[in-house]
Amino acid sequence: MRIDKFLKVSRIIKRRTVASEACGLERVGINGKAVKPSKEVKPGDVISIRFGDRDAFFRVLKVPEGNVGKAEADSLYEVISE
């Protein structure tokens, strides 16, 4: 699954367009490298997101096939630090 779609489905970022823009501005990274919105995510990857002046880190636990419900969205990732 693409990183921009994963961020939207997992509800880390509310809208896919915002997630795509964040990737384009190099505010999103996977395993320490800045990525484009089309980068594929796999379980075990560490996602870093810069929100203003702070960084948040998330570990991908599983990648869904499609959309998931709000209750299941939290089970897709684990928060390393905010």
When divided into structural domains, the chain yields a total of 1
How far is the C-alpha of 10 from the C-alpha of 8, rounded, in Å?
6
For tokens 């996977």, the residue is 30
Residue 33 lies in domain: 3-81
**What pLDDT does residue 67 have?**
80
Per run of 10 residues, the mean pLDDT along the chain (length 82 residues) is 92 92 92 92 94 91 87 90 77
CATH, residue 51: 3.10.290.10
**What pLDDT does residue 81 have?**
79
How far is the C-alpha of 33 from the C-alpha of 4, rounded, in Å?
15
Residues 6+ apart with CB under 8 A from 17: none
Distance of CA 24 to the CA centre of its chain: 13
**What pLDDT does residue 70 have?**
86
**What pLDDT does residue 69 have?**
86
